[in-house]
Amino acid sequence: MDRDELLHWLRTEDRGALAELWARADSVRQAHVGPAVHLRGLIEISNRCTRRCAYCGINATNHHIARYDMPDTAILACVDRAIELGYGTVVLQAGESPLWSRDRVAALIASIKRRAELAVTLSLGEQDRETLRCWRDAGADRYLLRFETSDPELYARIHPREPGAPDRLEILGWIKDLGYEAGGGVMIGIPGQTWDTLANDLTTFERLDLDMIGIGPFIPHPDTPLGHDPTAWRAPVRDQVPSDEALVYRALALARLLCPHANIPSTTALATINHRAGRELGLQRGANVLMPNLTPTHYRAMYDIYPAKHGLTADTPYDSQHLRTRIHTIGRTIATGPGSRNHRSPPSPRRSH
């Protein structure tokens, strides 16, 4: 798909055209990754962070939240819940903090891997190559690091860099070299993000041949520079990408068309802006993964990346059954096993006579 075509699809509001886009994304999803929805249990192990990202509510300058670190015993209890619920993957997510040292995280990964045949995904921010290697050696399977935007200038504005720190795209290269499955992604509607940038974001997914792609709306957080006064950062009005739900679906559907084999979640941020149907609509427009939150509720409120995060109280055992019902209601199945990226297409289903 060329750039003009991408831009056309991104900008279209024509109902007939959109119906065609949803149908194409859904059939490419069905053909390449099948009907099964993979459940990844998310554990937000700490909200400490030394970085000052202008969009993120847990950035170091936000003094309105209490900081926490989950003890290993509490993390392993969440892992046991994931096993009980039949999930094939746990995702450990946190800000960047020296308290989560290379050795501490490596030991944690090793103890999770000893417990069960679970895939371990890390989402622990920017790390040096040796640390990434050590965690891979300890058994980690996947690494998520959204690059947030493909526009270097916008990125530099919203993401103050540490002196000498490598770029996220460079780190994603290491992640792939080290044999992790690599996940990237962007937010939609960042003040200053233009249509051209968004089209580049999508072609970047394809160029990087990502195994996992996370796309969600930008949700302003009042205790962040970007949430405070988003208008100060905006692109000229004609070019500014809106942070709206419909556009997230269009980007998600296009990501599926460009990267047919990728694992693509219907993200929590999407469920936050449309609590009633966001998850399902994402799954029907290209996504094949959900990430139920297993973090104990008393920590969740402090993991305040953006306001009113969906699932502050959801995803308890009761809701887990509810989630299964919702997946079945839209005609999908629930995957078992780790659900790694499959580079080949699954065999087409046999016809029943």
Residues that bind ligand 5AD (CB under 6 A): 55-56, 146, 148, 187, 216, 218-219, 221, 269, 305-306
Q: Quick one: 34 or 57, whose CB is closer to ligand 5AD?
A: 57
Cβ–Cβ < 8 Å for 265, 39: no
User: What one-letter code names the amino acid at 44?
Assistant: E
Phi-psi region of 27 (alpha: psi -120 to 50; beta: other; left: phi over 0): alpha
CA distance 188 to 190: 6
Distance of CA 123 to the CA centre of its chain: 9
Least CB distance to ligand 5AD at residue 50 (A): 15
Least distance to ligand 5AD, CB of residue 243, Å: 8
Interior angle at CA 218, CA 214 and CA 224, nearest 5: 125
Q: How far is the CB of 73 from ligand 5AD (least distance, A)?
A: 25
Which one, 113 or 234, has the nearer CB to ligand 5AD?
234
As measured in angstroms, the least distance from the Cβ of 84 to ligand 5AD is: 26
Say if CB 235 and CB 251 are below 8 A apart.
Answer: no
Helices (H) and strands (E) in the chain, counts: 14, 8
Considering the complex, state which of residue 116 and residue 308 has its C-beta at the smaller distance from ligand 5AD: 308
Helix (H, G, I), strand (E, B) or coil at 336: coil
Token digits for 323? 């989630």
Question: Judged by CB, which is closer to ligand 5AD: 174, or 306?
Answer: 306
**Closer CB to ligand 5AD, residue 158 or residue 327?**
158
Quote the least distance from Cβ 18 to ligand 5AD, whole Å.
Answer: 23
Q: In this structure, how many other beta carbons lie within 10 angstroms of the beta carbon of residue 141?
A: 18
Q: Each residue of 189-224: b (16+ CB within 10 Å) or e?
A: bbbbbbbbbbbbbbbbbbebebbbbbbbbbbbbebb
Which one, 269 or 283, has the nearer CB to ligand 5AD? 269
**At closest approach, how far in Å is the CB of 96 from ligand 5AD?**
11
